[in-house]
Amino acid sequence: MKKILALTTVALSLGALVFIVEAAPQPPASGATAPLTIDQLIDIRHPSNPVWSPDGRHVAFVSERAGIANIFVADIAGASASSGARAVTRFADGQGAGFFWSADGQRLYFPRQGDLWQVALNGGEPSAVWSTPQVESGITQSPDASRVAFVRSASAAATAAAPARSGRGGAGAGGDLMVRTLADGKESVVVRGDGRAIGGVSWSPDGQSIVFGDGARTIRHEQTPAYSGSKIIYTISENVPGDTFVVPVAGGTPVSLGNGGGFGARRWIDATHFLVDRTSPDFKRRTTAVVSTKGGEPAPIHEETSEKFWSITGDAGPQPSPDGRWIAFLSDRDGWDHIFVMPAAGGAAVQITKGRFEVRAPQWSPDSTRIAFDANEPDHYGDRHLYVATLGADPARATIAAVTSGRGTDTAPQWSPDSTRLVFQHTDPHNSADLWLADAKAAAKPARLSDSMPAAMDRSAFVEPESVSYAGPDGQKVPAWLFVPKGLDRSKKHPAIVWIHGDGVNQGYDGWHVQRNYAVYYSFHQYLLQKGYVVIMPDYRGSIGYGKAWREGVYMDVGGKDAKDAWMVTNYLKTLPYVDMDRVGVWGLSYGGFFTLIAVTDQPRLFRAAVDVAGVADYAMYYDDPYHGGWTASRIGTPDQHPDVYANASPVSHVDRLERPLLILHGTSDVNVPYLHSVRLIDELLKKGKGDLVSFMTYPGEFHYFTREHVLRDAWHRVEDFFNANLKGSTVTSH
């Protein structure tokens, strides 16, 4: 196996750059004066998945409101602060991503309810390209945009219950592998199903071959406690990968490429070779290999190892340049996430960026001469901006220029087809996520493509976060974001709320969160600020943005110092004379819910009230889940190996210590943290005589991140009422 050495002689520090554009987008002027409402929070949209049209004149994207998404299109020529984006689908049940452009850029195709649909840009209602009794899944466009490949189910039995299907590369349910010409509707069978479970369809760059997966399956395991009885069954799923095959588009015998189900995303180098990434079961080794469609074993070309665990988040996989000469990848070998480039044929890697910041999502320009990426600001890690590294013919002589600057977060750049412009996502203290357009070279002010906030919102009333820090349990500095209501009378004492972000490997930003899942919580905190609450959010160890050592600080200590980092943010609140420390609440989602449960059992009189949203109740349960077992073991081993660590990571074992009111919210369809965690938590609380302190709301059919309108409306009102009763009420329900 070839080991690639890092070269740092040409590494470039972002901190030394001169910015080449004007300040980042500013909030539009607002004439509204009405206070923020929960209904307005629900009306905030979230755009994602921008895709350029082939002629570069339009950008299509998905815009979601309260779990209902539809496809929008922005005219690049009309981009301005007023936003010219318009909806081209308006389905009441929503339409997800997976759309693609026609070759002439005049229409969009998208999968819907097991068929392929289309909508023209010049007007008209969406219509079906075809409608069959069977379900077609994994609909994938050919490189020349003239054909689509898909899997047609063997029977029509599943059609009635078929959900809206996503497009590119979606896993299929089995059936025949088909190809259809879009112009005339002619179809051909490439591979007969004959019991195959075909999915993961992708075209070779020359359009002559199709690579697909076969044999992937899901095994359902029952995890039902005896006290649930015989009518309610709780299950967890184990996903078993299959093999990968290649077949000529004209038909023939599929050739096995090996255990491709474990390959992950395929990134093509040329017509017969693609890159794959594999992470070892213990998360300590990440290998990049080249797979040939002519067969043979994958050829490793790069490997990253870690003494603890692989901790880079997001799309850190290898990115081949469009011309097939180079491979870009992320490595944290120097303690921070940086871009490296190596020859596709193999050889030494050159480090392109260097410094105390984290790089994400490198994207090659279509002409293969540049890489666009986003990176956070040294010593101000909640701001992220876009940069372009120009490699030319030699990565060792790369130069870097900034594309955006100012306050806020710019992420996920996508190149225009002519390699001159970038569409990206921007957030800041006055703007939730929207799509913006920037020139990749010229010093021009970015232009807004979408405007996702309701017009009635008074953006000037939003509270800007302040970056603060405090000492953790071992003296290490813990960063946090403080929000103080505008016009607060600081001569008096006011209630405060500690928000603990989820995911573990996530962070707070200088303004709206870039992910929809956490942006809704940022929005709700702006609502609470207008109700007079001080809000603070810690970036405990394990959070991204602060380097590898901070991310890996949870190793063999989940629920230990990281959880103390979270609740010790109250030590900072104690320094604020306007905060009433007898009226401080705490809440969090997922990993944040887990820390909330630890806080109220480890420090039972520190917080007046707590809200747990879908929190982990016991990491031994999480380890037993095949979907999460490897992730858990990589951080804290197994329960047999480290029973002391698992004891710390089991708040359900300590609920006898609870002394203050606790509200628990959980959706029944949660797969990130199964609903059973809250069921077991409630059962244990009742057994310990804590039923008078606990409120519980079940949301039928809701997933981990609350999305649907009726759920959001109930949850936000319920949380507000709970905090009002316990932090503002004349009588407080506590012992």
Domain CATH code at residue 620: 3.40.50.1820
Model-wide pTM > 0.85: yes
- What is each CA distance from 209 to 179, 263, 264, 271, 297, in whole angstroms? 11, 18, 19, 8, 19
Q: Is residue 263 part of a domain?
A: yes
Q: Give the mean model confidence (pLDDT) for residues 160-186.
A: 65
Same domain, 590 and 634: yes
Reply yes or no on whether the pLDDT at 107 is more than 50: yes
Listing from the earlier edge strand, what are the strands of the sheet with 494-500? Answer: 466-471, 477-483, 534-538, 494-500, 579-589, 609-613, 662-667, 694-699
Q: What is the CATH number of the domain that holds 223?
A: 2.140.10.30
Least confident of 106-110, 166-170, 558-562, 604-608: 166-170
pLDDT at residue 352 tops 80? yes
Q: Above 50 in pLDDT, residue 214?
A: yes
Query: What is the side-by-side strand order in the sheet with 100-101?
Result: 100-101, 107-112, 115-120, 127-128
Domain stops at, among 391, 421, 448: 448
Query: Across the chain, what does the average pLDDT equal?
Result: 88
CA-wise closest residue to 315 among 373, 233, 268, 377: 373
Residue pLDDT, tens place only, 293-308: 988 888 888 888 888 9
Same domain, 508 and 377: no
In this structure, is residue 735 part of a structural domain?
Answer: no
**Looking at the predicted structure, is the pLDDT value of residue 74 above 80?**
yes
pLDDT at 102 over 90: yes
What pLDDT is recorded for position 433?
Answer: 96
Q: How many CA atoms lie within 13 A of 592 on its CB side?
A: 26
Pair 336, 482 in one domain = no
* Rg, Å, the chain Cα set: 26
pLDDT of residue 172: 42
In a domain, 488, yes or no: yes
Question: Per-residue pLDDT averaged across 503-511, rounded?
Answer: 90
pLDDT classification of 236: cutoffs 50, 70, 90: confident
Most confident of 21-25, 158-162, 165-169, 666-670: 666-670
pLDDT (0 to 100) of residue 504: 84
Do 372 and 473 fall into the same domain?
A: no
Summarize pLDDT for 428-438 with one digit per residue, the tens.
999 999 999 99
Task: Flag whether pLDDT at 232 surpasses 80.
Answer: yes
* Residue 44 pLDDT exceeds 90: yes
- Whether 458 is covered by a domain: the verdict is no
Give the neighbor-by-neighbor strand order of the sheet with 209-214: 198-203, 209-214, 243-248, 255-258
pLDDT higher at 22 or 665: 665
Residue 444 lies in a domain: yes
Q: 662-683: b or e for each residue (b if 16 or more CB lie within 10 Å)? A: bbbbbbbebebbbbbbbbbbbe
Residues 347 and 467 in one domain: no
21 pLDDT above the threshold of 50: no
Determine the pLDDT at residue 154: 79
What's at 238, amino acid-wise? E
| pLDDT at 220 > cutoff 90 | no
* Residue 732 located in a structural domain: no
174: pLDDT strictly greater than 80 = no
Residue 98, C-beta contacts closer than 8 angstroms, at least 6 positions apart = 110, 111, 139, 165, 166, 167, 168, 170
Q: Using the 3D structure, point to which of 388, 415, 448 is the last residue of a domain.
A: 448
Look at residue 171 and tell me whether its pLDDT is greater than 60: no
- When pLDDT is cut at 50, 70 and 90, the band that residue 444 belongs to is confident
Domain shared by 173 and 196, yes or no: yes
Per-residue pLDDT band for 264 (boundaries 50, 70, 90) equals low
Domains: count for the chain: 2
Q: Residue 680: its pLDDT value, please?
A: 95
Give yes or no for a contact between 470 and 482, defined as CB atoms under 8 angstroms apart.
no
- The pLDDT value recorded for residue 155 is 67
* Residue pair 434/416 in contact by the 8 Å Cβ criterion: no
Contact (Cβ atoms closer than 8 angstroms) between residue 582 and residue 395: no
Tokens for 94?
């929503």
Give the separation between CA 72 and CA 65, rounded to whole angstroms. 12
Q: What is the pLDDT of residue 18?
A: 34
Percent of the chain at pLDDT exceeding 70: 90
Q: How far is CA 405 from the centre of its chain?
A: 23
Shared domain for 539 and 426, answered yes or no, is no
Structural domain includes residue 718: yes
For 668-727, how does the pLDDT look when each residue is reduced to its tens digit (9 = 90+)? 999 999 999 999 999 999 999 999 999 999 999 999 999 999 999 999 999 999 999 999
* Nearest Cα to Cα of residue 357 among 339, 336, 371: 336
Q: Are 468 and 480 in contact (CB under 8 A)?
A: yes
Q: Is residue 456 part of a domain?
A: no
Would the pLDDT of 162 be above 50? no
645 vs 295: which has the higher pLDDT: 645
Instruction: Check whether residue 441 and residue 476 sit in a common domain.
Output: no
What is the average pLDDT across 494-513?
A: 94
490 plus 394 within the same structural domain: no
- The residue whose two tokens read 């899942």 is 517
Residue 592 structure tokens = 């944040």
d(CA 14, CA 405): 12
Residue 630 pLDDT grade (very low, low, confident, very high; cuts 50, 70, 90): confident
Whether residue 41 sits in one domain with residue 126: yes
Q: How confident is the model at residue 328 (pLDDT cuts 50, 70, 90)?
A: very high
State which residues form the domain around 106.
6-448
pLDDT confidence tier of residue 79, bands split at 50, 70 and 90: low
220 and 316 both lie in a single domain: yes
Q: What is the pLDDT of residue 261?
A: 52
Is the separation of the CB atoms in 693 and 601 below 8 Å?
Answer: no
Q: Which of 386, 417, 448 is the last residue of a domain?
A: 448
658, 715: one domain: yes
pLDDT by residue (tens digit) across 412-429?
999 999 999 999 999 999
pLDDT band at 36 (very low <50, low <70, confident <90, very high): very high
Q: Does the structure show a pLDDT above 60 at 30?
A: no
